[in-house]
């Protein structure tokens, strides 16, 4: 699989991110993939997910499947 080009992506911060410098997750449209990165260190790379895997991930988050507490 080819690595999507993130240099032209428009990134937006998650509505769950706070303004105090914590929990800063951004997503971006990578043309055929969804990018996820830490907005505090955007040059440290990103995860690339297929649209189907992104949908599954978001559904699992909403269902609380990744809750640690």
Tracing tokens 């809750």 back to the chain, one arrives at 67
Inter-residue contact 25 to 51 (CB < 8 Å): no
Q: What is the reported pLDDT for 31?
A: 85
Q: What is the reported pLDDT for 14?
A: 78
Is the per-residue pLDDT at 2 higher than 70?
no
First to last CA, the chain: 35
Structure tokens given for 64: 């609380």
Q: Write the pLDDT tens digit of every residue in 10-30.
A: 899 877 666 665 668 899 999
Structure tokens given for 33: 């993939």
Q: Write the pLDDT tens digit of every residue in 26-60.
A: 999 998 899 999 888 888 989 999 999 999 999 99
Inter-residue contact 24 to 6 (CB < 8 Å): no
Q: What is the reported pLDDT for 49?
A: 93
Cα atoms in the Cβ-side hemisphere of radius 13 Å centred on 40 = 8
């Amino acid at each position: 699989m080819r690595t999507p080009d993130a240099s032209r992506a428009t990134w937006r911060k998650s509505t769950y991110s706070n303004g105090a410098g914590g929990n800063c997750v951004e997503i971006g449209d990578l043309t055929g993939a969804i990018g996820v990165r830490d907005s505090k260190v955007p040059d440290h790379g990103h995860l690339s997910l297929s649209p189907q895997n992104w949908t599954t991930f978001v559904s699992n988050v909403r269902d609380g499947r990744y809750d640690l507490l």
